Amino acid sequence: MSNDKDWYQYMREGEVDIFVKNTVHTYKSVQLRLGYPPEHVVIYKILKGDSSDNIPGITGFPEVLALAMAKSVQNYKDLLTFNFPYSMRKWRVILKQRWSIVERNAMLIQFNPEWIEKALFTVTKRTGDKKKLVQLLRERGVNSIANKLEGVV
C-alpha cells in the first residue's frame, strides 16, 4: 500500500504482498526485480544507504558486494561473518572500521515488527478508494485493519 521499498522487509512468501498504484507486487516478483529476498532490503540499504530517507551508506561500498550480501545475510550483525570474495576482502576491514555507520543505519532503516499494524493503519487512512482498500485488506487476511477502517473496532 506504499511505494516505499522499506515495506519490503515485511514481505513473506505467500503471506504479505505490497499494493502500489493498483498493482499487487508479490514476494516472487519483488525478489526477481531486486535479486534478493524482499525482507533483506534492510541489509542492502544498511550498506548502500537510502537516499529517499536521507540516510548515507558506506562510501564507495561496491554494488555487487551489497547485492551478494543481501542475498545471503539474514541479519546485519552477520555482515562481518560473510564470506568475502578474495578480491573484496578489504571491505571486511572497512566494514569493521565503519561499524558505527552500519549500526546507525540499522537503527534507522529496520522496522520493528510491533510497528506494522499501526503503520499500515496510518498509511491506509490516506487512501482514496476506501471500499476497494478494505476489500483488498480482507482478501489478504488483514481483518483487524479493515475493521478499523470500517469503524468496526
CA 50 to chain centre: 11
Q: Model pTM?
A: 0.70
Sign of CA dihedral 143, 148, 152, 153: positive
Amino acid 8: pLDDT:
79
pLDDT, tens digit, 9 for 90 and up, residues 125-141: 445 567 777 777 777 66
State how far the Cα of 80 lies from the Cα of 99, in Å rounded to an integer: 9
- Give the confidence band of 151 by pLDDT, cuts at 50, 70, 90: confident
State how far the Cα of 145 lies from the Cα of 153, in Å rounded to an integer: 9
* More confident position, 121 or 135: 135
Q: Which residues contact 20 (CB under 8 A, 6 or more apart)?
A: 1, 2, 3
Sign of CA dihedral 119, 120, 125, 127: positive
Amino acid 133: pLDDT:
73
pLDDT at 152 > cutoff 70: no
